[in-house]
Amino acid sequence: MCGIFGVIGHKDAARLTYLGLYALQHRGEESAGIVTFDGKNVTQHKGLGLVGDVFDERIIRSLHGDLAVGHVRYSTTGSSLAKNIQPFLVKHKKSHIAVAHNGNFTNTVKLHAALEEKGSIFQTSMDSEIIVHLLAKAEDKSYKNRVIEVLSQLEGAYSFVLMLNDTLVGARDPFGWRPLCIGRLDGAYVLSSETCGLDLIQAKYV
């Protein structure tokens, strides 16, 4: 079980994500991370420990942009190492991709082998990294179609939030085994593993 959170369209996206992760702390106490995008540059901060220990006021102010994704981790696969802290962030061609993932894939071994056959090199022991590699391999120019292509290959119980440059995407498995809810706040959209993440920032559940 992990906690995931995302915000788009709010000038204080990093602070809202910090508060959302704080509300979701019960979903993971091993590590916390936030990635933001300001339209040009990506900023991130991640660390082992509780949300309140990983982030302080100075760090939150350094995370610029109106788009943010965040994650708190309780490990089910992969060891508790710094390289396994989410969100995962990669640059592929002209795209910045950040993913915060909750759950497990039941076809990890199959996907891992197929991706390595095509030249993918995995940097972590997390099955979450598969999402990034599948997105990188998807050829459609449309973000929507690329995500749909990725989802068609995943099996298991999962939810995740993605930052694709200036776009925020949320998805969960077809049966909804891993929760993900949507909220609105001052015209911004918010994604959270649980409604408690929305409640703390006074976002309206939709």
Q: Which amino acid is present at 87? A: P
The yes-or-no answer on residue 2 being catalytic is yes
Catalytic residue selected from 2, 32, 161, 198: 2
What are the C-alpha distances in Å from 6 to residues 69, 152, 194?
4, 23, 12
pLDDT confidence of residue 137: 87
d(CA 105, CA 151): 11
Number of domain units in the chain: 1
Backbone φ and ψ of 18, nearest 5°: -55, -45
CATH assignment at residue 183: 3.60.20.10
- pLDDT by residue for the chain (206 residues), tens only, comes to 899 999 999 999 999 999 999 999 999 999 999 999 999 999 999 999 999 999 999 999 999 999 999 999 986 655 567 888 999 998 877 789 999 999 999 999 999 999 999 888 888 878 888 999 999 888 888 889 999 999 999 999 999 999 999 999 999 999 999 999 999 999 999 999 999 999 999 999 99
Q: Which domain holds residue 160?
A: 3-205
